[in-house]
Structure 1
Amino acid sequence: MLIQPWDTARSEDEWHEWLRGRDFGLLAANGVDGGPPMVVPSHFLFDGEREVCLHLARPNPIWAALEADPQVTLTVADDYAYIPSTWRAPVDGVPTSYYAAVQLLCRAEILDEREDKAEILRRQLAHHQPGGGYGTMSATEGPYQKMLSAIRGLRLEVVEVRAKFKYDNQKPVELRERVAGHLAARDQVRDAGARTQILRHLAAGAES
């Protein structure tokens, strides 16, 4: 992922805060024997520091790739919007994409012990449905224990983070304010998120 100097995260706090509200991404592993990369969409749980956990079905083809090479990338992208050429004229006049993206480069550890998998599921359930699940998540009893053999767990150790916030941060304030207004008027699915990022960066620039 190309990250221009003006698109980089201002601090670890910036990408931490952005990622904290997101828990679904694309897990990519190197292909086996020169094959294409394996990419799996999945919910995940990031501890806010250096560990990600998730689980996948045992038949998932990514396991062979992980066993051959544990280096993976977990990518999360959101708050994206297409910006028409007319919105950036006369300063630029070239259409572009706005988006935020965080890539966690990790080393994967496959977990097959029943208690390890149950612990991942307990943590994920506590995050995704804090009101509780259907019975107790246990490796030895309850409605879920018989299903543990159908999944494998993954613990990802984060070794590097790449964060990008591409919102014309290098352009004049007037252009970015005008684009924010256009996004509010267009109001497509993710326009509000992109507009929030523009305004946040404008406010941060005014404070610095």
Structure 2
Amino acid sequence: MLIHPWDAPRDDAEWQQWLGTHDFGQLAVNGLPGEPPYVQPLHFAYDAGRAEAVTHLARPNPLWPALEADPDVLLSVVDDYVYVPGPWQAPPEVPPEHGVPTSFYAAVQLRCTAHVVDDPAEKADLLNRQVGHFQPEGGSAPAAVGEAPFDRFLAGIRGLRLEVVGVRAKFKYASHKPREVQDRVAAGLSARGGERDAAAREHQVRRRGVWPAGR
């Protein structure tokens, strides 16, 4: 992933805060010899304090042999993406129809060492951590070995602790464009009101000043 200086996060807190509320991504696992990579969509819970993400998958999932052969994996999350029409991006001295369209998006890629969790008690703890993230209000019985209702499901899954060893993060929201262009894009996103336009506009406005406009 190419990351220009103006698209880089201000600090670790910026991407960590974003990742805390964007908890569905794709786990990429190197394929076995002669096979393509495995890409598994999944929910996960990221823990900044432990520098790890936790998740689980069904025991019959075909990626397990590849993951055990090479635990070096990548967890990729992309969201808050929108299409930006060319006229919105045209520099002040350029006709609108000469503007270049682009994509805005936020992306975090966590390079991880995967640790497979098969111990029943550890799997139960991992599941409870995930549920605690997704259901902080409670409402579900905890998973525990030998206790209903979830004990019978533990044998059918394998847990994953993804130890984060590297991070690449990007917030592509025209932070390097002249202020006039940024204002035009922000107004266009507000007027269009698409599914992700409000989130994209929030990023764009929030990140003003990370790079001298027009530099």
> TM tier, shorter chain?
over 0.9
2:9 is matched with which residue?
9
Q: Which amino acid counterpart does residue 172 of structure 1 have in structure 2?
A: P
- Runs (4+) of structure 1 exceeding 2 A deviation are 130-136, 203-206
SS at match of 2:33: helix
Task: Give runs of aligned pairs for residues 67-146 of structure 1, distance below 5 A.
Answer: 67-91=68-92, 93-146=99-152
1: CA distance, partners of 2:209 / 2:6: 15
Cα distance change on mapping 1:99 and 1:21 into 2, 3 Å: same
Provide closer, same or farther for how the CA distance between residues 170 and 134 of structure 1 changes in structure 2, counting only shifts above 3 A: closer
Paired letter, 1:196: E
Consecutive unaligned residues in structure 2, runs of 5 or more: 93-97
What amino acid is aligned across from residue 101 of structure 1 in structure 2? A
User: Is the deviation greater in 115-124 or in 125-134?
Assistant: 125-134
Asked whether the 8 Å contact 1:125–1:133 carries over to 2, the reply is no
Quick one: distance in 1 between partners of 2:182 and 2:54? 37
- Alpha-carbon distance, 1:135 to partner: 2.7
One-letter amino acid of the structure 1 residue matched with residue 202 of structure 2: T
SS in 2 for 1:175: helix
Residue matched to 1:48: 48
Equivalent in the alignment of 2:95: none
Task: Give 2:197's match in structure 1, choosing from 185, 188, 191.
Answer: 191
Q: Matched residues in 1 for 2:128 and 2:139: separation?
A: 9
Count, aligned residues: 206
Report the counterpart of residue 160 of structure 1 in structure 2: 166
Cα distance in 2 for partners of 1:172, 1:23 equals 33
DSSP 3-state at the match of 2:75: strand
Q: Secondary structure of 2:9's partner?
A: coil
- RMSD of the TM alignment (CA)? 1.5
3-state SS of paired residue (1:180): helix
- Residues 175 and 210, structure 2, Cα contact 8 Å, conserved in 1: no
Structure 2 length as normaliser, TM-score?
A: 0.91
CA contact (8 A) 2:10 2:210 kept: no
Contact 2:78 2:106 in 1 (8 A): yes
Is the 8 Å Cα contact of residues 134 and 143 (structure 1) preserved in structure 2? no
With over 3 angstroms needed to count, the CA separation of the structure-2 counterparts of 1:170 and 1:90, relative to structure 1, is: closer
The percent identity for this pair of structures is 53
Residue identity matched to 1:193 = A
Structure 1 residue runs without a partner (length 5+): none
AA of the residue aligned to 1:19 = L
2:139 and 2:62 map into 1 onto residues whose CA distance is: 28
Q: For 2:147 and 2:28, locate their aligned partners in 1 and report how far apart those are by CA, in whole Å.
A: 34
Letter paired with 2:143? M
User: What amino acid does structure 2 have at the position aligned with 1:182?
Assistant: G
After superposition, the C-alpha distances for 1:119-157 in whole angstroms (9 at most, x for unaligned) are 011111111112334433101211000110110000011
Tell me which amino acid in the other structure corresponds to 1:4.
Answer: H
Q: 1:204, CA displacement in angstroms? A: 5.6
Q: Secondary structure at the match of 1:202?
A: coil
Return the alpha-carbon distance in structure 2 between the equivalents of residues 185 and 167 of structure 1. 17
